[in-house]
Chains A and B, each alone.
Chain A
Amino acid sequence: MNNRVPTWEEVARDYGRFVYTVAYRLTGNDHDAQDLVQEVLIRVRKGLDTYRPGSMEGWLSRITTNAFLDDMRRRRRRPVQALPDEPDRLLPPSPGADSVLAQRSLSADIQTALIRLPADYRSAVVMCDVVGLSYQEISSSLEVPVGTVRSRIHRGRALLREALK
């Protein structure tokens, strides 16, 4: 097992797309996602010395989510952009044209519903369902009790389902 701490450039190169995906799911648009990725990489560079080899995705998603929540707190008074842009960049999962179009449309609808969730619910849902972290990991990342994580995830999913009915 390779326990070497990666360099900043390696993190950016190997996990940039992952960070961008999480950032895009949290922010819902390319411009804010790019800003968030840059902020994350700055924090990564500053904090790389404190990284202990383990789940790089978990570490990065924690940084991404916290940077996102910090930004949301800073600009709480500004409206959130509700529509994702450039849906063409969502990767088609299968070759069938109809299924690709249907998937893109559904993905756009889900993304739209996702960014209408309160930021706390959205963060928990993204960490659970997009990143795949456990409740305990999310609890540690967000510094809230596991019961709160459980509640946010459930309410986030319920609200999202309600929005897409």
Chain B
Amino acid sequence: MNEPEVNLPDVTKSELNEGGQGHPASALSALLDGELTYEEETTVQTHLMGCSTCRLELDDVRMARSWLRALPPVDPPFGYLERLTLTPAHSQWRDSQWRNSQWRRVAMASAGAAAVIAATVVGVAPAQKPAGPATPNLVNATVPTLVTTTLATTTLVTSTTVNPFVPVLFPVNPLIP
């Protein structure tokens, strides 16, 4: 017996051609969600009556839909929302404003200039050493003093003869075993 010719609505007509199999495919989920027009729903229901493939697919997506809808709310970590309202988003927003602001550019330029000046001064300082007998080996000369004396002698390390480009050896406290 031939099935009656159904006048399909536009959307469902195109969906019936999905995959070339003549199945309504995504209209099945729309059917579950009540998102079909009366005409579309009638068409899909008629198709379902004669198509076991679509009935199985409808069962599958119905199952997936019910699982998803049963997912419980998720609690954020304890205190997270309270912290958010107190600081982070505020400060992040302020930070983003700060990053884009003119004041930031001015501050960055000033900081850069200060760094250059500081580097120049520090770089010149070693050349201003007082004239006198050459220090044969600064590090070797200083270390024994530090090791064998008390903390009070650590000021020796910062004396004007120390070359700032030589890594400073931290004094060993003889009181600490």
Contacts and interface: CB of A to CB of B under 8 A. Distances in A.
A129 interface: yes
B60 interface: yes
Contacts of A135: 30, 33, 35
B84 A130 contact: no
A37 B76 contact: yes
A17 interface: yes
B92 A150 contact: no
Contact of B68 (A16, A20, A90, A157): A157
A9 B68 contact: no
Interface stretch (A38-46, A53-61, A74-82): A38-46
B137 interface: no
A52 interface: no
B39 interface: no
B89 A161 contact: no
Interface string B33-64: 10100000000000000000000010011011
If over half of B's interface residues share one DSSP class (helix, strand or loop), that class is named, otherwise mixed; here it is helix
B72 A150 contact: no
A144 interface: no
Contact of A16 (B26, B35, B81): B81
A13 B83 CA distance: 10
B174 interface: no
B33 A16 contact: no
A12 B82 CA distance: 9
B75 A154 contact: no
B77 interface: yes
Contact of B93 (A9, A46, A93): A46
A30 B72 contact: no
A161 B118 CA distance: 66
B176 interface: no
B67 interface: yes
B80 interface: yes
5 contacts: A17-B73, A25-B74, A42-B93, A150-B35, A161-B61
Interface of A: 8-9, 12-13, 16-18, 20-21, 24-25, 30, 33-34, 37-38, 41-42, 45-46, 89-93, 103, 106-107, 110-111, 114, 125, 128-130, 134-135, 147, 150-151, 153-155, 157-158, 160-162, 164
State the 8 A-B residue pairs at the shortest beta-carbon distance, nearest first: A154-B26, A129-B68, A154-B29, A157-B64, A16-B81, A161-B64, A41-B89, A20-B76
Given A12-B81, A129-B68, 18 more contacts: A17-B73, A21-B73, A25-B71, A41-B89, A42-B89, A46-B93, A103-B72, A107-B72, A125-B68, A134-B35, A150-B29, A150-B30, A154-B26, A155-B26, A157-B60, A158-B60, A158-B64, A161-B60
